[in-house]
């Protein structure tokens, strides 16, 4: 199993939880992202924003991890939003139709307010 090259930081902003993601989102990132999601979900939070501005690489396994988080959010009646995606990863979200379930915003302020 590959070593995880991911960092996460969970913080709060105006009632939403923000997960700052740095490094690679792939199969090895599953444990770190799941733990960050659980932390972000504490306290009845209804909006979780993923900050991808520190993203270095994401592959199809990483997309699968995001789909798993999306399913958990839907079960918890939470909304997932994202910002900081490069044009390349915005295109991947569009091709995989992930953008239909995870709202892509231009900034953290827009994601929290959306």
- Residues 55-67: pLDDT tens digits? 999 999 999 999 9
CB 65 within 8 A of CB 29: yes
Confidence class of residue 114 from pLDDT cuts 50, 70 and 90?
confident
Q: What is the percent of the chain with per-residue pLDDT over 90, rounded to a whole number? A: 95
Domains contained in the chain, CATH given: 6-113 (3.30.750.24)
- The pair phi, psi for residue 97, each rounded to 5°, is 65, 15
- Residues 17-68: pLDDT tens digits? 999 999 999 999 999 999 999 999 999 899 999 999 999 999 999 999 999 9
What are the angstrom distances between the C-alpha of 13 and each of 30, 55, 64?
Answer: 24, 20, 27
CB 99 within 8 A of CB 87: no
């Amino acid at each position: 199993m590959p070593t995880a090259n991911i960092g996460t930081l969970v913080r709060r902003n105006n009632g939403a939880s923000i997960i700052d993601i740095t490094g690679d989102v792939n199969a090895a990132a599953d444990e770190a992202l799941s733990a960050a999601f659980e932390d972000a979900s504490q306290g009845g939070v209804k909006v979780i924003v993923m900050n991808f501005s520190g993203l270095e690489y994401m592959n199809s396994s990483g997309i699968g991890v995001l789909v798993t988080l999306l399913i958990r959010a839907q079960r918890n009646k939470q909304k997932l939003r994202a910002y900081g995606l490069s044009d390349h990863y915005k295109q991947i979200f569009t091709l995989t139709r992930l953008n239909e379930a995870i709202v892509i915003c231009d900034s953290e302020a827009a994601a929290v307010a959306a």
